[in-house]
Structure 1
Amino acid sequence: MEQFVDSFPSREAHLTGEEIHKRLDEIEQIHALYSPVKLGLAAALACCGFTFLLGGGPVEMIFAFIAAGVGNLIRMKLIKHHYTLFLNIAVSISAACLTYAVCLHMAELLFHISAVHEAGYICSMLFIIPGFPFITSGIDLAKLDLRSGLERLTYSIIIVLVATMFAWIMARSGLERLTYSIIIVLGATVFAWIMALLLKLQPQDFAALHLGNMMHLFLRLIASFCGVFGFSIMFNSSVYMAATAACIGAVANTLRLELVDFTGMPSAAAAFIGALTAGLLASIIKRNHGYPRISLTVPSIVIMVPGLYLYRAIYNFGIMSLTEAVSWFAAAIMIIVSLPLGLIFARILTDRTFRYCT
């Protein structure tokens, strides 16, 4: 689509309206590059990397890998058969949480694994994070494309809220783009909350990892690469483009985490710098290789979206722990706002057409 837009003045401008619609229909009919099984593995890899970056250890990473793979496989099967969004969210989130809980209980029985590792169940459902509508809604709003921006943001929020609410319950036992974002956010958070209630899972801190600074840095680079690569494959990027985005994300996300740990920088400010770095690197690569900028930047910073914070906020709202809920929610909002801002300023610095009003 971006190639079509870029070449439009020179190659497509002379076409009739019917011919343009035919070309757009051909683009729309392009099939996904990967099967549901491969996309399940991509989600498993992404959530496994996400788990380490959030503080999880090998046990949580293995369980999250299995659970996220099952959840996204089911999600892609439902999408393929055109099931409605809320059913898609409910079933895939439930499957991921249930799979994690089963793996944990089996490990307790067979290997005497401690129940403290239940903290990783949140990571098993982070594949539902609506990264593209979340990030691109901010870029749309920066261009004053209010309808698209608001619709994407709304869609994202709905997914997050519904999913976290459903997971919470299980544990205890622009208007088009903004709307799209709010639906996803609401849906995902609600259903995650429900699942938490049903499975008697509670969000806890991960067990401490005793790693040296250099080893931690090295593992963060690897985990960031794997996480971004998995998300990029889920967004239907080619393997080479996904690897390029993963390299950008490894640098940008590791920089963000190191700034928080070693300089005491607030998470939101570090997120802005991380997103700015990703945007600048993507602009350089676009200039040299012609890849769509959005296909590089969004996967590289989706891993910075605070899905864990959003879930904990909804969970604490559900149990009426309002002070803690507001704290988590405020921290999440600050980071979420900072991420598209970083990309926007990267575009302002590197893209003349974006820098000026039209």
Structure 2
Amino acid sequence: MEENEPQIRRHHISASHHMKIQWKEFFKSPDDTLIKDTTLVEKGSLVGRIGIMLLECGTGAWRVRDSMNTVARALDITCSVDIGLISIEYTCFDINNKSYSQTLTLPTTEVNMNKLNKMEQFIRQFEKNNDRLSIGAIHHRLNEIERHTATYPVIIAALSAGLACGSFIFLLGGGLPEMICTFFGALVGNYVRGEMSKRKITLVAKIAVGVAISCAVYFLCFMLGQKLLGWNHDHAYGYIGAMLYVIPGFPFITSGLDMSKLDMRSGLERLAYAILVIMTATMVGWGVAISLHLTPGTMPKLNLTPTVLTVCRVIASFCGVFGFSVMFNAKPQMALVAALIGAIANTLRLSLVDYNHVPAALAAFIGSLLAGLLASFVREKVGFPRIAITVPAIVIMVPGLYMYRAVFNFGITNINVGAYWIMNALMIVVALPIGLLTARILTDAKWRHAD
């Protein structure tokens, strides 16, 4: 026992609820050892570290599995993996009938498209050059990716939320008063949520507090505008826009994509997470609205010609998608590409509904399909992850207003009206991932096969 005590003290045991893994401890070979010459435990641990880093980016199960398989093949081992929202269970096998199993978990889920882009670049380089890579070089590169792909500062995320939600409320029919109040409401609310995230406050609490503050700030801005500028009371109905930054676009869309590939565990867990976020946000929004005597209503009509309205929608869609992309921690070039695609796809969707009387769900499918096809074309030119430019481009199509109206009416036991809004929302929510899925099947041979 005495001989082992000094060694025990040298180990760092995590005090976190989700204990952090010290990856270096899995590798007993010297740092200059080529990865191809390491043990099964070391190879399997590398596969697991890469998988959990990808899952931490917020990408779907198919991409995580594909990347882990790519690394495993390069290391001449077989990998079988089961993927959830925040956990991975996997087993690696070698040709000597040996196996190595591991379970890895994350404390929470987030979205980081810059990190995903760096990880995909690493996977491609690893596939080509693994014969020449040492243990030390690989872990140095992975540590670099973790250090240099941190999320944006809280103030940048807050400004992005203000830009995204201010644009979103215009696309929902709001005018300048609604956009101003929404901008400040979303900015302050998301800033507070970001500060709570830095302090590792749990999910439900930070969403509830952020949404409540956003609604309250919107109402204060509206009251100030009403007093100083004589705003009509109908402008108060735009308060729903101030909370739209909490829409869980990535889990919603990737849940549909995962289930389409029969990754049911990941798909259902992501869907449950998205529902939890939406229910928390809408219930808090409902409670604040009841307290302030606000009800969902019709915002003052915009007196714009079809041409001017279409141009404004292109600009608002661009700004909204750009803001959401930055909230998803995409680098500016990636956000710009997603914004251009989103501006085209979302404007087409809205025009189909308003000028061609196409049902909203069908229009959402067409807009999502176009976004997926454009992303597939652009990806060949710029090399960004497909999901990093498709999901932000269609998040702005998620019917957050419909969901809120449904919950509000259910809350006051107006069941018929609530059912009307929830069915409209469900039709659109289902149509969006189907559009992306169709585009992926048409343009990606690897995706459309099950093997």
Q: Give TM-score scaled by structure 2 length.
A: 0.71
Q: Which runs of 5 or more residues in structure 2 are unaligned?
A: 1-118
Q: How far apart are 1:327 and its partner, in Å?
A: 0.5
Q: How does 1:146-161 map to 2 (within 5 A)?
A: 146-161=264-279
Q: How far apart are 1:5 and its partner, in Å?
A: 3.3
Match of 1:267 among 360, 368, 371: 360
CA RMSD of aligned residues (A): 1.7
Q: Is 1:97 equivalent to 2:215 in the alignment?
A: yes
Distance in 1 (CA, whole Å) between partners of 2:202 and 2:432 is 29
**Partner of residue 189, structure 1:** none
Distance in 1 (CA, whole Å) between partners of 2:399 and 2:412 is 21
Q: Is 1:200 equivalent to 2:293 in the alignment?
A: yes
Distance in 2 (CA, whole Å) between partners of 1:239 and 1:23 is 23
Q: Is 1:246 equivalent to 2:339 in the alignment?
A: yes
SS at match of 2:398: coil
Distance in 2 (CA, whole Å) between partners of 1:157 and 1:290 is 32
Q: How far apart are 1:2 and its partner, in Å?
A: 2.2
Judge conservation of contact 1:50–1:227 (CA < 8 Å) in 2.
yes
Q: Is 1:50 equivalent to 2:168 in the alignment?
A: yes
SS at match of 1:207: coil
Judge conservation of contact 1:276–1:343 (CA < 8 Å) in 2.
yes
* 1:188-225 deviation digits (Å, cap 9, x = unpaired): xxxxxxxxxxx221111111111101001100000000
**Partner of residue 401, structure 2:** 308
Q: How far apart are 1:145 and its partner, in Å?
A: 1.1
**Partner of residue 78, structure 1:** 196
SS at match of 1:341: helix
Which structure: greater strand fraction?
Answer: 2
**Partner of residue 325, structure 1:** 418
Match of 1:286 among 364, 376, 379: 379
**Partner of residue 5, structure 1:** 123
Decide whether aligned partners of structure 1 residues 17 and 316 sit closer, same or farther in structure 2, where only a CA change above 3 A counts.
farther
Q: Which has the larger radius of gyration?
A: 2
SS at match of 2:434: helix
**Partner of residue 254, structure 2:** 136
Distance in 2 (CA, whole Å) between partners of 1:136 and 1:12 is 30
Q: Is 1:348 equivalent to 2:432 in the alignment?
A: no
Distance in 2 (CA, whole Å) between partners of 1:357 and 1:7 is 26
Distance in 2 (CA, whole Å) between partners of 1:79 and 1:12 is 37
SS at match of 1:217: helix
Judge conservation of contact 1:165–1:314 (CA < 8 Å) in 2.
yes
Q: Which runs of 5 or more residues in structure 1 are unaligned?
A: 174-198
Residue type of the alignment partner of 1:244:
V
Q: How far apart are 1:112 and its partner, in Å?
A: 2.1
Residue type of the alignment partner of 1:160:
I
Match of 1:125 among 243, 261, 264: 243
* 1:222-250 deviation digits (Å, cap 9, x = unpaired): 00000000000101111111111000000
Match of 2:290 among 159, 172, 179: 172
Percent identical among aligned pairs is: 51
Q: How far apart are 1:141 and its partner, in Å?
A: 1.0
Match of 1:37 among 155, 179, 194: 155
SS at match of 2:384: coil
Q: How far apart are 1:10 and its partner, in Å?
A: 2.2
Which structure: greater helix fraction?
Answer: 1
Decide whether aligned partners of structure 1 residues 23 and 149 sit closer, same or farther in structure 2, where only a CA change above 3 A counts.
farther
Residue type of the alignment partner of 1:324:
V
